[in-house]
Amino acid sequence: MEKPLPRPTGPSRTRDPWWDNARFVSAALIVVLHTVGSLMSRYDALGAYHIGTWAFRVPLFVILAGVFSSGGPLGPRHLRTLLHSIALPALIFSLLYSLEVYALGGRFTLHITQLPWTLWFLMSLFFWRLLLPLVVQLRHPLLVTTVVSLAVGYVDEFGMQFSASRTLVYMPLFYLGWRLGQGWLQDWFRSRSSLPVAVAGVLASFTVGWLWHAKVDGTWLSMRHAYRADTRLGMEGAWVIRLLVLASAAALVLCLLRLIPRRRLPFVSALGSGGFTIYLLHPLVILPFRERGHIARADTHVELLALMVCGVLLAAVLGSPWVRRLVQPLTKPPVDWLFAPPAAPGAADAPSPLSKRLEKSSASHPDGGDRSLTYR
Which pLDDT band holds residue 371 (cuts at 50, 70, 90)?
very low
How far, rounded to the nearest angstrom, does the alpha carbon of residue 118 sit from its chain's CA centroid? 10
Average pLDDT over the chain, rounded to an integer: 88
Q: What is the DSSP letter of 84?
A: I
Which pLDDT value is given to residue 112? 86
Q: How far is CA 242 from the centre of its chain?
A: 20
Q: What is the rounded CA–CA span in Å between residue 168 and residue 223?
A: 9
Q: Do 64 and 23 touch, CB atoms closer than 8 A?
A: yes
> Residue 20: its pLDDT value, please?
96
Question: Of 276, 285, 317, 327, whose CA–CA distance to 86 is shortest?
Answer: 276
- For residue 41, the one-letter residue type is S
Spell out a b/e string for 76-105, using b for 16 or more CB atoms within 10 Å of the CB, else e: eebeebbbbbbbbbbbebbeebbebbeeee
Whole-structure pTM value:
0.86
Instruction: Tell me the average pLDDT across 159-187.
Output: 94
Are 57 and 29 in contact, with CB atoms under 8 Å apart? yes
pLDDT of residue 75: 84
| Average pLDDT estimate for 65-91 | 90
The confidence score (pLDDT) of residue 232 equals 78
pLDDT at 351 over 70: no
Domain range list for the chain? 17-342, 351-376
Q: For the chain, what is the total number of helices (H) and then of strands (E)? A: 18, 0
Closest of 314, 232, 230, 243 to residue 279, by C-alpha? 314
Q: What is the pLDDT of residue 359?
A: 53
pLDDT at 130 over 50: yes
* Alpha-carbon torsion (110, 112, 113, 116), positive or negative: positive
Under the phi-then-psi rule, with left for phi > 0, alpha for psi from -120 to 50, and beta for the rest, what region is 242?
Answer: alpha
Q: Which residue stretches of 332-365 are H helix? A: 353-364
The DSSP H or E segment spanning 337 is none
- Region 13-33: mean pLDDT is 92
Mean pLDDT in residue range 34-45? 94
Q: Rounded to an integer, what distance in angstroms lies between the CA atom of residue 86 and that of residue 229?
A: 36
Q: Exposed/middle/buried for 45, CB within 10 Å: 0-12, 13-18, 19+?
A: middle
Q: How many residues does the chain have?
A: 376
CA–CA dist 368, 360 (Å, integer)? 10
**Rounded to whole angstroms, how far apart are CA atoms 116 and 113?**
10
Does 207 have pLDDT greater than 90? yes
- pLDDT of 374 strictly over 50: no
Q: pLDDT by residue (tens digit) across 287-345?
A: 999 999 999 999 899 999 999 999 999 999 999 999 999 999 999 998 777 777 766 65
